[in-house]
Amino acid sequence: MNKTLVVVPTYNERENLPPLSQRLLALPAPVDMLVVDDNSPDGTGKVADELAAKHPSIHVMHRNEKNGLGRAYIAGFKWALEHGYEFVFELDGDFSHNPDDIPMFLETARAKEADLVLGSRYLNGIRVINWPLSRLMLSKAAAKYVRIITGMPFTDPTGGYKCFRRRALEALNLDDVRSNGYSFQIEMTHKLWRQGMIILEVPIVFTDRFQGRSKMSGHIVREALLMVWRLWFQNKLRRRPTGRPPVPPPPAKPEGTQSEAATQPPGDKLQGSQPSRAPNQTVRR
Ligand SMILES: Nc1nc2c(ncn2[C@@H]2O[C@H](COP(=O)(O)OP(=O)(O)OP(=O)(O)O)[C@@H](O)[C@H]2O)c(=O)[nH]1
Ligand SMILES: [Mg+2]
């Protein structure tokens, strides 16, 4: 088993899945792949089963009905935690996200001890291929809207190319995450950001699908518009992180010796134990 799992939700991605799995299997950093298929009418689930039969690092989760991207990812994240993965990716099954960027995400997560690495289409310029101007404007406006209301400082909060560290997923109550679509992406990031987790952005090129049909709808946009206000309320109307990240336990000392932290007042203990965990850094590469 590899330490990294790439979760790929699919609904009618039959043409895309075989080449996508090949690209993932060919990466220099070996990864496992979990396809979460919602009983796609085009037979994507069967294609996934055939790939899994040939490659032990490909796994398939079949769900009975189309339940939205968010539900599919939550099921995939729970599976990842149960199976002991350290890094867990979100990756669209329509080639919008370039699998070759995965090593860049992993390097950033490791080098900077990040809890979450976000792929950004808008960090240091716009890198979106095959989108009409209206779609680009909607996405850019959504990013601004999220920033103004929640204070979250990221350039691309609706993006869906992400790498979570295990401890970040463990810090969330995954059953509490209710949204789908764009809103799901914003909600996941906000729930970690407001806990003071380290979240970094890396630049990616996003290419809209060339095969299959878009599942974008007015409902998805309305859901996101409302969710942003709900997140702001959940964060006690604050526009900055209100929590502190979980503090790793101090290394065990032999019995009879007193740890340094135990001699400090409680306030100092917390501060001193997490000097490098400044909230919400943004890496510009
Ligand atoms: N399992 C599952 N996967 C889904 C569902 N909806 C979308 N997906 C998949 O999620 C990935 C990302 O979907 P989106 O990018 O939101 O949808 P899209 O159809 O590509 O639409 P746009 O990229 O927004 O034009 C793709 O691999 C889809 O096949 C769903 O309800 N269930
Ligand atoms: Mg897409």
Phi/psi at 225 (5° precision): -60, -45
Count of structural domains, the chain: 1
54-68, 90-104, 181-195, 198-212: least confidently modelled range: 198-212
pLDDT computed for residue 212 by the predictor: 65
List, in order, residues 6 or more apart from 276 with CB less than 8 Å away. Answer: 113
- Residue 224, pLDDT > 90, answer no
115-158 tens-digit pLDDT:
999 999 999 999 999 999 999 999 999 999 999 999 999 999 99
Cα distance between residue 172 and residue 116, in whole Å: 13
Q: What residue ranges line ligand 1, CB within 6 angstroms?
A: 9-11, 13, 36-38, 66-69, 72, 92-94, 96, 209, 214-216
User: Is residue 200 in some structural domain?
Assistant: yes
Count of helices and strands (H, E) across the chain = 9, 9
Which whole number is the average pLDDT over 14-40? 97
- Top mutation candidate among 7, 40, 94 for ligand 1, by most atoms within 8 Å of CB: 94
| Higher-scoring residue by pLDDT: 245, 4 | 4
Separation in Å, CA 170 to CA 31, 62, 78, 84, 152: 20, 23, 9, 11, 21
Domain that holds residue 89: 4-262+273-284
Do the bridges between strand 32-37 and strand 4-10 make them parallel or antiparallel, or are there none, so unpaired?
A: parallel
Could you tell me if residue 268 is inside a domain? no
Residue at 267 is within a domain: no
CATH number for the domain harbouring residue 250: 3.90.550.10
Pick the range with the lowest mean pLDDT from 98-102, 215-219, 221-225, 244-248.
244-248
Query: Rounded to whole angstroms, how far apart are CA atoms 151 and 280?
Result: 11
Test site for ligand 1: of 77, 161, 215, most ligand atoms within 8 A of the Cβ: 215
Which pLDDT does position 183 carry in this prediction? 92
